[in-house]
Chains A and B, each alone.
Chain A
């Protein structure tokens, strides 16, 4: 099984800050890496697919990069609505998937 490890587990930042979340796979997953945002009481929403492709309708301040085992999600300038929990997910072993443990982004 492929294990996905995110860091940090939580992060405090201010509106306007640039933040980076990392995700590491236990083995190479090429670019089969997706990022989701989840707000309390809501279903997850995809932000980035294929490691670096922005989902339609997602603001351009979200950027994904990486391939192989190491990936990053960068938010260039935090907006108030960006405070949420972020998950990476690998689809390399489709139809079985696995998620990272999540990164909670909180307001400083």
Chain B
């Protein structure tokens, strides 16, 4: 059974840092591109970042570029998001998600974690 479990969320002051983790199981983690998606309270989904299988390609939303760093540890089946210089507008539930690319070639996010809440407040 595919499982993704986020952890590391919590309350942090503006300007502070936090590291999120996503522990995975039930699939060959090193074969999949992974993403982070967030959702502010009562708001819609916002794509945050992605990382390729070998960490060669990293992508970020403009809203987090220069402040967030995505990484992975394939041997430990884990995905990370290092967040620094946090702002109130970064308050959200953060989800990790796996990309599936069917033979047709149209990628989509097929499995998601349950999310971890990050609250940025003084």
With CB as the reference atom, state the residue of chain A lying closest to B46. A99
Which residues on B sit within 8 Å (CB–CB) of A89?
Answer: 45, 47, 108-109
B28 at the interface (CB under 8 A from A): no
B46, chain A: closest CB distance, angstroms:
7
Q: Interface size (A, Cβ < 8 Å)? A: 28
Q: B21 at interface (Cβ–Cβ under 8 A)?
A: no
Interface size of B by Cβ–Cβ distance < 8 Å? 27
Given contacts A95-B52, A95-B59, A97-B35, contact A46 B45 (CB under 8 A): no
- Residue among A32, A42, A49, A100 having the largest count of chain B Cβ atoms under 10 Å: A49
Q: Is the CB of B44 within 8 A of A43?
A: no
Report A78-108 residues with CB < 8 Å from chain B CB: 87, 89, 91, 94-102
CB contacts under 8 Å to A, within B24-39, are 33, 35, 37
Contacts of B50 in A (CB 8 A): 95-97
